[in-house]
Amino acid sequence: MRWKCSGKAPEANRQCANMKYILETERLILRELTPKDSRYFYELNLSPNVIKYTGDKAFETIMEAEKFLKKYTDYQINGFGRWAVTDKSNNEFLGWCGLKYVADLDETDIGFRFFEKHWNKGFATESAKACIKYGFENLNLKTIIGRAMKENVASIKVLEKLGMNYEKEFDFDEHLGLIYRIENNQAYNDSI
């Protein structure tokens, strides 16, 4: 799946209307999600393995995914959110990663979700590291947390690779969940 805009990847696509690029890593580009991502968003959540540990349900239609993306206001409200992750070399939509402010808890968490064919390639770690660095350096966040169901060993490994430390257990949609935390400090910023 490739993002189609100008047909040239990726430099020309940076000029696409209504697309806001946020971050670039060695292999990835992170940009705001738009309603044009509806099909990818729908297909990503359609996979039972992808949403197994999320507490989310699959969208019933592409239109439902589009409606969700049209109503997604985190960028306007908080100045950040979950971002589309695309392959810099060919503009393929790989999944999403980003920060989410949870007002009830006054916390910002890191989250990520990728198509299964892109698991075990380091994309979650690479994009999440960039998001944490962005959160600390550009948003001046003091703390970022990560949440995962205890059975989600792969995501827990990513959180640990990010330098996050286990904090406590919590109820994750009637499953045992774990919370990891990282503080904004110079030692972390120097290591990424």
Q: What is the pTM of this model?
A: 0.88
Other beta carbons within 10 angstroms of residue 29's beta carbon come to 24
Report pLDDT digits (tens) over 79-133: 999 999 999 999 999 999 999 999 999 999 999 999 999 999 999 999 999 999 9
Whether the predicted pLDDT of 10 surpasses 50: no
State the pLDDT at residue 55. 87
Residue 21 Cα to chain centre, angstroms: 14
Question: How many whole angstroms separate alpha carbon 89 and alpha carbon 112?
Answer: 20
Question: Where along the chain do its domains lie?
Answer: 12-140
The CATH classification number of 12-140 equals: 3.40.630.30
State the pLDDT at residue 107. 96
In the chain the beta strands, taken as DSSP E runs, fall at: 21-24, 28-32, 82-87, 93-102, 107-114, 143-149, 165-172, 175-183
